[in-house]
Amino acid sequence: EIFKSSKTSHFKNIHKATGIPYSDMIFFDNEEHNCRNVAPLGVTCVYTPRGMTEAEWDRGLKLWSKNQS
């Protein structure tokens, strides 16, 4: 989903609607402040200043996996 409002509120809504733990979520964003705001929830955040690529996807999955340990 894509929203222009607070990303923190957005993730809280997703969590409430689905019951998915924040620690099971990955967030890719090209705006660093959005990552800083969402990370305290426990979401794995991947800053992608040049946009989404396969390499960023792979990096996000590796980071998420590392955070699960």
Identify the pLDDT of residue 1: 62
User: How far from chain centre, in Å, is Cα 64?
Assistant: 10
Quick one: which of 22, 29, 34 has its CA closest to 56?
29
Residue type at 65 in one-letter notation: S
E strand map for 1-69 = 26-29, 44-47
Quick one: which of 28, 57, 33, 30 has its CA closest to 44?
28
Identify the pLDDT of residue 5: 75
Q: Tell me the per-residue pLDDT of 10-63, one tens digit each, with 9 for 90 and over.
A: 999 999 999 999 999 999 999 999 999 999 999 999 999 999 999 999 999 999
Q: For the whole prediction, is pTM greater than 0.85? A: yes
User: Around Cβ 46, how many Cβ atoms within 10 Å?
Assistant: 19
